[in-house]
Amino acid sequence: MEISGNDGPRAASANERLVRQIEAAGARYRAAEADRGEIERRRAAGSRFPDDDDRLQLRAARLVEQHEVPGQVLLATSPDESAPRLAERIIGVTNDLQSLNFLARGLRAAACVARIWYSTGGPVRPQATGFLVAPSLLLTNHHVFPDAATARGAFAEFGAEMGVDNDLPVHTTRFAPDPDTLFLTDEDLDFSLVAMRPGGDGRPPGRIFGHIGLIAAEGKLVVGDPVNVIGHPAGRLKEIAIRANRFTQRLDDFLHYETDTEPGNSGSPVFNDQWEAVALHHSGVPAHDDSGAVLNLQGLPWRPEQGLAQIEWVANEGVRISVILARLGALATNDDGLRTLLAELGAGSGLGTTPAARTAVPAPRSPVEPASGAEAVTVSGVSGRPGAFGGRVRLVFLHGRSQQGHDPAALRRGWAAGLNSGLTMAGLPTVDPEDVWFPFYGDRLVEVMESTAPIEAPLSPSAQGLYDELLGEAAHRAGMPAPGRTVVTESIWDHMVGTVHEPLGWIAAHTGVDRLVIRAAFRDVAAYLDRDDTREAVLERVLAGLPASGPVVLVAHSLGTVVAMDLLTRLGPAVPVAGLITAGAPLGMDAVYSRLRVGGAHLPSIAGPWFNTWCPTDPVAIGCPLADDWSGLAAECTVANPHDRAHDIGAYLAHREVATAIGRLLG
């Protein structure tokens, strides 16, 4: 499906298209000179954020709703403080101080950004940037992809970035556009939205690298706010412009900002400090003389043959995301098929709805459906091959919550696929899923929990108390202030008290994970820890699925990390643990480790080296890092999982450093 948002792509070279955009940006800049003068007058009068009062209040309200504001700022609100003054104070605090997860969220956003390769008449080479805005949709500029034919001959390369130690990329992944499924372009707004083909494993790129949700709502930026641009300037490896930058002016369809970019940044996302996309970068703004002629670095009229590097730039320009979404909505007004495709952009875009990101909870089933007249068979998992890994060790995966009704063999394949991605990146041998032991307790956990109440029924009073304790501790660790004096509020500030002191909403806002997923995860941990009979039933099922002799390398996830710690107290000398790897663990919370059978935050002597990994936006791992509380931990690392898979075990295992820790134990 190819739709143009104007009269159709013009027959022009890539350079001519870019020059047209540069000249148009310069004309808009000249036309907005009077508004810039007003902004500068407000700035000279002492306004740090010289925007309209209503926009300041919208921005502050959005920051409060997202729990981006330190609670102490709100709790210290003065009864006589005006709304504009309070708004400026709130915005100023969020600009000056950032939560530590600012870095992790930036890494998560950066993973969605790709280097675009295509030909402009010569060989295919890296020339621009694009970013995923849905699992299978990529956004870039019209002057990058002016038509479906250009997109059809291009590819998007993910992971083209320097490693932590300035090592070159070990592994990049390429995906091809699929303009026959969807290609929407608009020359005036300089954007193109194109579908992407899935990879060899059938997954679209956004299921691997995540995607940046586009938000139609206002309040994402005010004049004076910083902006951050991630892209591939001049086709180089991925870079970020994060210093000496600010949003300077809002036009009807575009934003102007000061930051360092180069021509290869075309198609880069422009973010606010909450890593929400506010614009699609498309052009620099050139200096001009009184006649409107573009000037070169010598202050003389610029000629195209001098090259873009000789232009004197005064600002940068991006297309407003809200305007792009409005244009897409207009294109889809009378097209049901197009509306269906655009629904993948999510509810925040205003173009459709998608199912809430939540862990599926299938109806419980019998452990194994017996044949007629036969006795039921208890599923305790699937076994690995005895001779695997040279017979030296057994690799054991210990799953987390909400796995009831699933096939253990299929789950094992999913874990192995994630691990093999990481092992490949690390240059280590991959594993055969059939060599892995996969104890399975998912059905048994639901069965014993349902012995007293359905899974969605209220918890027992003791379990509910533990759930509330877990949620409160997690929210506190995420920065939620303790209840204090009442905030004096009016108009748009009336919701502040409830917003500041609502733990589930606070955690959801700080991690980007759906509230129902967080609620279900902490409920299951509470239910497991609350009752000895539940705990014993789970441990017996896991023990039945373990190899009879070791040593074993135990890889545990989520609730499985809690089960693993209890399991270490039940294993005898016949099954020593050669190494323990935990991922997405809630073990850093007092309410968890104080109730473990190991008797506190220390690793039993039966276990070998312990490696922990966590994602700062994973709500279950919010008590991490563990080194502050636990003894016996050999090493741990943070990783940046895709935003819609922050707690996903496949995402954890696909990281090179995590796979390396496992691969080395397998020898």
Of 505, 523, 541, the last residue of a domain is: 523
Q: Is residue 331 part of a domain?
A: no
Q: Is residue 610 part of a domain?
A: yes
- Please give the Cα distance from 607 to 239 (Å, whole number): 42
Residue 51 has pLDDT above 50, yes or no: yes
Instruction: Give yes or no for a contact between 584 and 401, defined as CB atoms under 8 angstroms apart.
Output: no
How far are the Cα atoms of 21, 48, 487, 518 from residue 621, in angstroms, in the given order?
Answer: 46, 37, 31, 11
pLDDT at residue number 479: 72
Q: Is residue 412 part of a domain?
A: yes
Residue 609 has pLDDT above 90, yes or no: yes
Same domain, 221 and 74: yes
* Edge-first strand listing for the sheet containing 113-118: 2-4, 183-186, 191-195, 137-140, 125-134, 113-118, 155-158, 173-175
Nearest to 227 by CA among 265, 257, 264: 257
How far are the Cα atoms of 113, 131, 437, 578 from residue 233, in angstroms, in the given order?
Answer: 12, 14, 46, 46
Same domain, 305 and 291: yes
Same domain, 589 and 657: yes
pLDDT at residue number 558: 92
Residue 64 has pLDDT above 60, yes or no: yes
Residue 52 has pLDDT above 60, yes or no: yes
Residue corresponding to tokens 């307790």: 441
| Cβ-Cβ contacts under 8 Å for 247 (sequence gap 6 or more) | 221, 222, 223, 224, 225, 226, 227, 255, 256, 257, 278
Same domain, 206 and 220: no
The residue ranking higher by pLDDT, 16 or 249, is 249
Same domain, 180 and 251: no
Q: Is residue 599 part of a domain?
A: yes
For residue 248 the two structure tokens come to 């300077």
Instruction: Find the domain containing 629 and state its range.
Output: 381-449+533-666
What DSSP designation does 123 have? Answer: S
Q: Alpha helix (H) ranges present in 32-186? A: 33-44, 53-65, 71-75, 83-96, 101-111, 148-152
Q: Which of 184-188, 422-426, 513-517, 558-562 has the lowest mean pLDDT?
A: 513-517
Same domain, 319 and 417: no
* Domain of residue 292, CATH code: 2.40.10.10
What is the Cβ-side half-sphere exposure of residue 571, based on CA atoms within 13 angstroms? Answer: 27
- Please give the Cα distance from 207 to 226 (Å, whole number): 30
The chain-wide mean pLDDT, for the chain, equals: 82
**Counted domains in the chain:** 4
Same domain, 35 and 85: yes
pLDDT at residue number 508: 75
What is the Cβ-side half-sphere exposure of residue 503, based on CA atoms within 13 angstroms? Answer: 18
pLDDT at residue number 368: 36
Q: Is residue 130 part of a domain?
A: yes
* Domain of residue 605, CATH code: 3.40.50
For residue 350 the two structure tokens come to 């205003």
Nearest to 395 by CA among 423, 425, 368, 424: 423
Q: Is residue 357 part of a domain?
A: no
For residue 85 the two structure tokens come to 């003054």
Q: What 3-state DSSP class applies to 477?
A: helix
Beta bridge partners of 155: 117
Instruction: Give yes or no for a contact between 156 and 113, defined as CB atoms under 8 angstroms apart.
Output: no
Q: Is residue 236 part of a domain?
A: yes
For residue 602 the two structure tokens come to 């220390």
Residue 99 has pLDDT above 80, yes or no: no
Q: Is residue 370 part of a domain?
A: no
* % pLDDT > 70, the chain: 84
Same domain, 206 and 221: no
Of 324, 344, 361, the last residue of a domain is: 324
Q: What is the pLDDT of residues 536-576, one digit of tens each?
A: 999 999 999 999 888 999 999 999 999 999 999 988 888 99
Same domain, 229 and 313: yes
Same domain, 438 and 539: yes
For residue 194 the two structure tokens come to 């194109």
Residue 6 has pLDDT above 70, yes or no: no
Same domain, 421 and 544: yes
Same domain, 422 and 550: yes
